[in-house]
Chains A and B, each alone.
Chain A
Amino acid sequence: MPTDALRSLATGLDPGRYWQRGAEALQRTPTGAFIVRYGHYVALPLFAVAGGLGPSYFGIRMTFAILVLVMYALLRSRSGLFGLALLAAMLVYLPRQMDVFERGIMFDIALYALLGIGLNVVVGYAGLLDLGYVAFFASGAYLYALISAPEAGGGFAIGTSFWIVLPMAMVLAALMGILLGLPVLRLRGDYLAIVTLGFGEIIRIMINNEDGLTNGPIGVFSIPKPHFGGTELSGPFELYFVVLAGCFLAAFASERIRDSRVGRAWEAIREDEDVASAMGVNTTAYKLMAFAIGAAMGGAGGVVYSAKQSAVFPSDFNLDVSVNVLALVIIGGMGNVRGVILGAMLLIGLPEVLRDFSIDFAFIHLDNLGADYRLVIFGAALVAVMVLRPEGLLPSRRRAAELERGLDLEPTTVT
């Protein structure tokens, strides 16, 4: 089942049916039911407090803790505009209090949120498991690098403005999305995942080998920063706002598309492709549309990444990117843009926050616990999320319903 495959990818383990059985058994006990139902309310503040004990990086830690809590509490209760406005204000205000390192992390969170929103269109809405998403990210990054950097190897460095390359990159990525979509139209589930994975690798290897065009493994340097109204957006702090704006636009667009005829067609395809087609949905066109829209968002992310880094290398675009983006979509809650944003905060932010995680209580002094074992703790946290909330932290209503059916032992149809 693709869902299991997704979950195992997200955790790096294969939870399989034993995990599920374990979770079910846990839920049957009163304590277990309580933990499953309310555990996340307890776990998140604990993380926040524990994170606050360390000596350094005060800004990112507290910001992160507050952001996650506000995001989680407000958006989970669907409190609407007020919550969103508060969140937006904090996303704008808090990074001002941070140092360069912390701002870099905020940039990464926002960038991955943008990528996640894009991938969510493909995986969450249309149900097409895409493991080659990094290809679109890479195409955007390299397009901007090759066109704008004076030292680019391709010989067509024309010094075009960031703001012109941005839509160009989105169009290019969308075309690549269609290019990827065409041969995989007939594939479903696991087979689709394998072919898209190959596609992502092909693009990376191509960038690596086409020295004449891309400078190969040496990479492209001196990529210029974008300008906005005469000011150079030079650091991660300024570019963070560019990505943040991109996130909000992408979130806005994808939620509106989801609530339209197009989104319904995607859902129908995910539920039963043949029947959707029999109801008049041109499944070919709609699948390609999902690939194209998701890819365009990835391409836009690539352009900003390229501008922020000032240099791009083929090794920036390996499978890890695709897997991380997919994992944050799953952890956050597939099909729900807000869940995806929360997923990006956790998946990208948590490993950084954990750097300072330490325990100094009574006779226990583990000063470097986070520094030494942060990825272990991080992995355990991801596994815990998937066991306790397999549908993700903020799932779409439908996604939650699907997983509920998975645990349902009653037959759903009578024949």
Chain B
Amino acid sequence: MAILSVRHVSRAFEGLIALNDVSMEVEPETIVGVIGPNGAGKTTLFNLLTGFYKPTSGEIWFENKRVDGLPLHRVAAAGISRTFQNIRLFSNMTAVENVLVGGHLHLSTNIATAILRLPGTLAQEKRALQAAVDTLGFVGLARRENELARNLAYGEQRRLEIARALAVRPRLLLLDEPTAGMNPGESIDMMRLIRQLRDDLKMTIVLIEHQMRVVMTVCEYITVLDHGEKISEGQPAEVQRDQRVIEAYLGTGALLGERPE
């Protein structure tokens, strides 16, 4: 039974069709890659999945609930969380505060309890802080808790985005180019982290990625988009041999192996 089901979803921007009749199913606890040349509609798909856009037509179902058209915070509450291609941290807040905002849904403080600061509120806040510190440790940001997000190194910012997304405690995690701009060493660390998320936290992961090495090693299933349409899907090895994929990336006759631009 698929945890996420995208059914004939299209999205047009004033005549420009960014996604056209795309369907995909994601099984629980798998790592799925979405690939395609620039402008293929990958990020549009993510924006549709998380409620940033509403589909022009089609439906998105997550855990047997329809989630397309829901406001952003309701999608998060349903159990979907994401990171952003162009890092969008709360840059003037510290690392741990960023993660605490991610944990917003799992706290119950309101104005009255905030002012009264009852023992229960304090205890809850303390637990949330500990959980946030643990999450930072999990993604490899131990002892960077009180650093302002914008002062973190680039790779650390990517990790902090993942930590913040994890704090939402999603069942489905969407990673938009998690290794963009990273050197090979950092990419390998990131791949290890992504596997860990699935293995240790039993999370379902969909990721957009340009580095083929990452996609082919870490993903168990791949969906290929081109010009807003799904042109192929399957196991990495199958997709790699698919003639349409090769054409889309490199023109006819070329081999898929290096990072396309």
Q: Which chain A residues have a beta carbon within 8 Å of chain B's beta carbons?
A: 252-253, 256-257, 259-265, 267-268, 271-272, 274-283, 289, 293, 398, 401-402, 405, 412-415
Q: Is the CB of B71 within 8 A of A268?
A: no
Query: Cβ of B210 < 8 Å from any Cβ of A?
Result: no
For the complex formed, measure the closest distance between the CB of A186 and the CB atoms of chain B, giving whole angstroms. 13
- Give chain A residues whose Cβ lies under 8 Å from the Cβ of B113: 260
Q: Is the CB of A261 within 8 A of B71?
A: no
Q: How far is the CA of A274 from the CA of B105 in the complex (A)?
A: 16
Contact of B101 among A260, A265, A282, A401 (CB under 8 A): A265
Q: How far is the CA of A316 from the CA of B115 in the complex (A)?
A: 32
Q: Is the CB of B92 within 8 A of A402?
A: yes
For the complex formed, measure the closest distance between the CB of A310 and the CB atoms of chain B, giving whole angstroms. 33
- Give chain B residues whose Cβ lies under 8 Å from the Cβ of A264: 93, 97, 100-101, 104
Q: Is the CB of B71 within 8 A of A275?
A: no
- Given contacts A256-B114, A260-B114, A271-B92, A277 and B104 within 8 Å (CB-CB): no
Q: How far is the CA of A142 from the CA of B107 in the complex (A)?
A: 39
Q: How far is the CA of A112 from the CA of B111 in the complex (A)?
A: 23
For the complex formed, measure the closest distance between the CB of B193 and the CB atoms of chain A, giving whole angstroms. 20
For the complex formed, measure the closest distance between the CB of B184 and the CB atoms of chain A, giving whole angstroms. 16
For the complex formed, measure the closest distance between the CB of B45 and the CB atoms of chain A, giving whole angstroms. 15
Q: Is the CB of B150 within 8 A of A281?
A: no
Q: How far is the CA of A398 from the CA of B92 in the complex (A)?
A: 6
For the complex formed, measure the closest distance between the CB of A71 and the CB atoms of chain B, giving whole angstroms. 24
Query: Cβ of B50 < 8 Å from any Cβ of A?
Result: yes
Q: Is the CB of A401 within 8 A of B97?
A: no
Q: Is the CB of B114 within 8 A of A271?
A: no
Q: How far is the CA of A116 from the CA of B84 in the complex (A)?
A: 37
Q: Is the CB of B181 within 8 A of A261?
A: no
Q: Is the CB of A271 within 8 A of B104?
A: no
| Cβ-closest chain A residue relative to B165 | A279
5 nearest A-B residue pairs (beta carbon): A260-B114, A277-B72, A280-B76, A280-B105, A271-B90
CB-CB contacts of B59-93 with A at 8 A, as 1s and 0s?
A: 00000000000011101110001101011101111
| Cβ-closest chain A residue relative to B72 | A277
Q: Is the CB of B90 within 8 A of A260?
A: no
- Give chain B residues whose Cβ lies under 8 Å from the Cβ of A283: 73
Q: Is the CB of A281 within 8 A of B104?
A: yes
Q: How far is the CA of A274 from the CA of B76 in the complex (A)?
A: 12
For the complex formed, measure the closest distance between the CB of B176 and the CB atoms of chain A, giving whole angstroms. 12
Q: Is the CB of B52 within 8 A of A262?
A: no
Q: Is the CB of A275 within 8 A of B104?
A: no
Q: Is the CB of A279 within 8 A of B92?
A: no
Query: Cβ of B141 < 8 Å from any Cβ of A?
Result: no
- Given contacts A282-B73, A401-B148, A414-B154, A265 and B90 within 8 Å (CB-CB): no
Pairs A–B under 8 Å by Cβ, sample size 20: A257-B115, A260-B113, A261-B109, A261-B125, A264-B104, A267-B93, A268-B93, A268-B101, A276-B101, A278-B76, A279-B76, A279-B102, A280-B76, A281-B73, A405-B91, A405-B150, A412-B150, A414-B154, A415-B86, A415-B180
- Give chain A residues whose Cβ lies under 8 Å from the Cβ of B82: 278
For the complex formed, measure the closest distance between the CB of B168 and the CB atoms of chain A, giving whole angstroms. 6
Q: Is the CB of B92 within 8 A of A405?
A: yes
Q: Is the CB of B181 within 8 A of A414?
A: yes
Q: Is the CB of A274 within 8 A of B72?
A: yes
Q: How far is the CA of A280 from the CA of B80 in the complex (A)?
A: 10
- Given contacts A261-B114, A264-B101, A267-B97, A277 and B90 within 8 Å (CB-CB): no
Contact of B111 among A257, A275, A278 (CB under 8 A): A257
For the complex formed, measure the closest distance between the CB of A123 and the CB atoms of chain B, giving whole angstroms. 16
| Cβ-closest chain B residue relative to A277 | B72
Q: Is the CB of A415 within 8 A of B181?
A: yes
Q: How far is the CA of A264 from the CA of B84 in the complex (A)?
A: 20
| Cβ-closest chain B residue relative to A271 | B90
| Cβ-closest chain B residue relative to A278 | B72
Q: How far is the CA of A233 from the CA of B51 in the complex (A)?
A: 56
For the complex formed, measure the closest distance between the CB of A361 and the CB atoms of chain B, giving whole angstroms. 46
For the complex formed, measure the closest distance between the CB of A285 and the CB atoms of chain B, giving whole angstroms. 9
Contact of A256 among B51, B100, B105, B117 (CB under 8 A): B117
For the complex formed, measure the closest distance between the CB of A167 and the CB atoms of chain B, giving whole angstroms. 14
- Among A262, A279, A414, max chain B CB count under 10 A is at A279
